[in-house]
Structure 1
Amino acid sequence: MLLKVDPVDSFSGTFRVPSSKPETQRAILVGTLADGTTRVFNDLRCDETETMKNACRAIGAKITEHDDFLEIEGIGQSSPRIGRVIQSRGSGLVFRVVTALASAQPSPVVVTGDATLRNRVMEPLLQALRELGADIESIVGKDQAPVVNWGHRLKGGTCRLPGDISSQFITAILFAAPLAEGPVEIEVTGEVFSKSYIRQTLASLTEAGIKVSASEDMRHYQVEPSAYQAQDFTTREDYTSASYLLAAAALFPGRTVLTNVYGDSMQGEFAIVPILEQLGVSVTFDRATSTLTVDNPPGSMRGDFAVDVRDCPNIVPTLAALGAYVQGSLRVTGGRLTRFHKASRIEAMASELTRAGVDIEVLYEDGVCDGFVVRGAQTYPGGVTLSSWGDHRIFMSLFVAGLRMQSANRFSGFEDVRLSFPTFLEEFAKAGVLTTAVEEENVPAEAAA
């Protein structure tokens, strides 16, 4: 099925921002590895957090969902009681962390995932775990999922990881390192991207009593064998999810209010707030009521703007959608990591927006797709079918871009919002956005990319 989305003349109202997916996932991991009971308040419930919960249940945690919090009985100091096969579905974080945790226990474990995950880069993580004493073999022989971990435990020592592919490699080893027989050191080569996600991991570990340190440039980490301690966590808002609502608010003059927003965040994607302010949009936090108010005056988004997204890669598709309406240009660089996500996100957005008539050019650095420059217009004809490339963030960004076009567009992949923002369509319906599921037609070839 495709989703037909009618354009709107205005966008305003009150909308709820989902809770943070990465914060929820990290809290679930800490609760699983801790001795005692952990509670996670304001947790996000979506497909990818459900995948993390199921994986942690396979490790041995008891996880109970209450109306407003999760309750987790962890495994403590005992060896992870990991099931023989762990299903990661499409979650790179689940696969990478569970693969690392499986290295800290004595019996064989197979860690697998769906077709999208089996195409993602895993070799640097597997090699780093081998350097720490793990015995891991790729079943397909390409150092990709699925893998079998033969369970020779992590001995400790020093491993090396690249910093320009995925911060999840570092996060995975940081979570497993306290379970190793000796201290673990991580040396990161090259530039470190997505530092905010690593900071979130370090904060979670420190709160849980893990002895971990990081160099100022985040290229060296040391972890001592230590025990996870149960904690209570309160998850804050997710700024990647908020970016779609904020971008829609920036496309139309008026006032928009977002709830479940606290304003204190370690997330790199918080950058969407100062970016909107740079574009001339007013953003005001009210911490007493946990709200954010967007006032978009007529005449905003005019000029030539530049954004570096090294620490906020997940809003790259959102920025492409916004840029389509900048009266001038928006230049985005530092997004090379996105080529390793579910889809090559820069190329995906450029391809689909070009199909809709947007003037967007992919930028390369050292032969690598690193960003784009988009020269916007007031509106576009619409009436086209746009592919999500199998990536929920591409769908949500293209959805926003279509709101100011002249006629309805059709989109593939709308069901995938359940991965991180299950109430996406309901929230936009509050602003009068009409959507209709229609029979599928020929989807562009890029969908298979």
Structure 2
Amino acid sequence: MKLHLSAPPSNLLKSNIEITGSKSESNRLLLLQALYPNISIDNLSNSDDAQVMQKGLQVENGVVDIHHAGTAMRFLTGYFASQVGKEVVLTGSKRMTERPVKILVEALRSLGADITYEKEEGYPPIKIKGKKITKNKVSLPADVSSQYISSLLLIAASLQEGLELELVGKITSIPYIKMTLALLNGVGIRTSFEGNIIKVAPKPNIGATNLVVESDWSSASYFYSIVALCEVDTEITLSAYKKDSLQGDSVLSEIYTQFGVETTFEKNTIVLRKVAHQQMTTINCELQDAPDIAQTIAVTCFGLGIGCHLTGLHTLKIKETDRLEALYVELSKLGAAISVTDNALTLRAGNVIKSDVAIDTYNDHRMAMAFAPLALRTSILINDAEVVSKSYPDFWNDLEKLQIQIKKL
């Protein structure tokens, strides 16, 4: 599906948008619910990734195809490795078979798991024969994807002796690790995180517990971008959010003050307002703890004609696509002066934005959604626009609520 996007009748917007639960929180809680059936969950994400996770957890034996869902691949690897008697082959899309899983597999093997590679060493598909895991100490490089770490932490309390996890080196993605630990604590599982050592105590059973998933801050980022690109006094209300969020991407509320976006926390909502401000010529952001908002920030800067230097982006190379390279290619097509390295992106300030450029999305939901706000500055085409269903199926409908003009081609 190709969409043509153009500006709303007015760039002074007023609207209310409801966003479903965080994909990150939902998939963690779904795994905990599979281990502890007394847990009930409200406001689950309606994303493809959450649906894939739910379906995968129901499989006893056979092939589990998680498509593009990297979170499900990592989390289900740990889950099935610890489930006695279950035997599955975890596989996914072509891109998924190019995304490394070796570090997690080796960690689980060191605990006694039975995991083998079906094709290329270090990559899916993988065959898992679930067995009782009795060892309780493991180490991982500290700079790997937090999903590897969370995969181990989520199953830890269900193991006979719990788990002691040592992170070797400088830790990255700390907010996602803390999110996992907070969710464990929320269902009564004892944890500690001191220095580079994380401990999770065993807990065989959990009583009846109801949990409510906070809405997704990554999804909120696109509305921050829209407000930044709009006129002063634009106001968009998003629900349901909280000030003490577990999600690392909640740093948006601080970062976007540089673009004149003011965030007000009200009961279960955030109100985004565009206020008068002194526009900067360049912004600098260290995004090691929130790499998923890098695409949104880069496109916001381009739309405003300002430069940016974004660092801490090394994990973007192994996402749904190589997001740094994808940003370089697509922003260049629009007229940007941009350069990327293995962990950074630099955009020079400029006033040129080409119109009616077709943006390729690379099977990456965030490419489609990050570029969509540019419709406020130029007409733009989005190829394979249906890819947004991975995390935010209602995205295009919600943009139409803002009167952004969307036409199927």
TM-score, normalising length: structure 1: 0.85
Please tell me the residue identity of whatever aligns with 1:223: V
1:436 paired to 2:396? no
Kindly indicate whether residue 384 of structure 2 is the aligned counterpart of residue 409 of structure 1. Answer: no
SS of residue paired to 1:84: strand
Specify whether residues 45 and 205 from structure 1 end up closer, same or farther in structure 2 by C-alpha distance, changes over 3 A only.
Answer: same
Partner of residue 264, structure 2: 284
Instruction: Compute the displacement of 1:50 (Å).
Output: 0.8
Q: CA deviation at 1:388?
A: 0.8
Does residue 342 in structure 1 map to residue 320 in structure 2? yes
Q: 2:202 aligns to what? A: 225
Instruction: Determine if contact 2:56/2:76 at 8 Å carries over to the other structure.
Output: yes
Which of 151, 173, 178 in structure 2 is aligned with 1:194? 173
* Gap regions ≥5 residues in structure 2: none
Tell me the equivalent position of 1:395. 368
Aligned to 1:248: 226
1:72 maps to none
Identity %: 26
- 1:40-439 aligned at under 5 Å gives the runs 40-58=41-59, 82-107=60-85, 108-215=87-194, 217=195, 219-229=196-206, 230-253=208-231, 254-264=233-243, 265-287=245-267, 290-298=268-276, 301-362=279-340, 364=341, 369-378=342-351, 380-405=353-378, 408-438=379-409
Q: 2: distance between equivalents of 1:379 and 1:274?
A: 28
How far apart, CA to CA, are the structure 1 residues paired with 2:147 and 2:74? 7
Match of 2:40 in 1: 39
Amino acid paired to 1:177: A
Deviation at 1:383, TM superposition (A): 1.7
Corresponding position of 1:5: 5
SS at match of 2:68: coil
> Within 1, Cα distance between the matches of 2:102 and 2:12?
45
Matched to 1:294, the amino acid is: L
Sort the Cα spacing of 1:358 and 1:7 in 2 relative to 1 into closer, same or farther, 3 A: farther
Per the alignment, do residues 269 and 228 of structure 1 end up closer, same or farther by CA in structure 2, a change over 3 Å counting? farther
Deviation at 1:279, TM superposition (A): 2.8
Residue type of the partner of 1:241? S
Distance 1:266 1:181 in 2: 28
Letter matched to residue 206 of structure 1 = N
Q: Deviations over 1:336-372 (max 9, x none)?
A: 111111111122112100110012221x3xxxx1121
Q: What secondary structure does 2:132 align onto? A: coil
Give the Å deviation of 1:415: 0.4
1:66 alignment partner in structure 2: none
Query: Compared with structure 1, are the counterparts of its residues 150 and 24 closer, same or farther at alpha carbon in structure 2 (3 Å cutoff)?
Result: closer
Q: 1:190 to 1:259 in 2, by over 3 A?
A: same
The change in CA–CA distance for 1:178 and 1:291 in structure 2 (over 3 A counts) is closer
Runs of 4+ in 1 over 6 A off after TM superposition: none
- Write the distance in 1 (CA, Å) between the matches of 2:130 and 2:51: 25
Give aligned pairs, total.
Answer: 403
In 2, the alpha carbon distance for the partners of 1:357 and 1:283 equals: 31
Between the aligned partners of 1:379 and 1:248, the Cα distance in structure 2 is: 19
Distance 1:11 1:142, change over 3 A: farther
CA deviations 1:200-244 (Å, max 9, x no partner) are 1111112222233222x4x32122332241421111121100000
Provide the C-alpha distance between the structure 1 equivalents of 2:366 and 2:387, rounded to a whole number of angstroms. Answer: 9
Q: How far apart in 2 are the matches of 1:261 and 1:359?
A: 37
C-alpha deviation, 1:27, in angstroms: 1.9
Structure 1 Cα separation of the partners of residues 191 and 36 of structure 2: 16
Q: Distance in 2 between matches of 1:97 and 1:327?
A: 40
In structure 1, the residue corresponding to 2:61 is in which secondary structure? Answer: coil
Question: In the TM superposition, what is the alpha-carbon distance from 1:11 to its structure 2 partner?
Answer: 5.0
Gaps in structure 1 of 5+ consecutive residues = 59-81, 439-449
The aligned amino acid for 1:2 is K
How many Å separate the matches in 2 of 1:292 and 1:151? Answer: 43
Task: Report the alpha carbon displacement of residue 46 of structure 1 after superposing the two structures with TM.
Answer: 1.9
Maintained 8 Å contact 1:316/1:346 = no
CA–CA distance in structure 1, aligned partners of residues 135 and 252 of structure 2: 39
Retained in 2: the 8 A contact 1:392–1:413? Answer: no
| Counterpart residue type for residue 33 of structure 1 | L
Question: Is residue 35–residue 158 contact of structure 2 (8 Å, CA) maintained in 1?
Answer: no
SS in 2 for 1:252: coil
Q: Secondary structure at the match of 2:58?
A: helix
CA gap of 1:24–1:308, structure 2 versus 1, over 3 A, is same
One-letter amino acid matched to 2:61: G
Kindly provide the CA deviation profile for residues 414-440 of structure 1, in whole angstroms up to 9, marking residues without a partner as x: 1011111111111111122122222xx
Provide the aligned C-alpha RMSD in A: 1.9
CA contact (8 A) 2:20 2:43 kept: no
Q: Is the Cα contact below 8 Å between 2:227 and 2:234 reproduced in 1?
A: yes
For 1:260 and 1:228, locate their aligned partners in 2 and report how far apart those are by CA, in whole Å: 33
d(CA) in 2 for partners of 1:300 and 1:154?
58
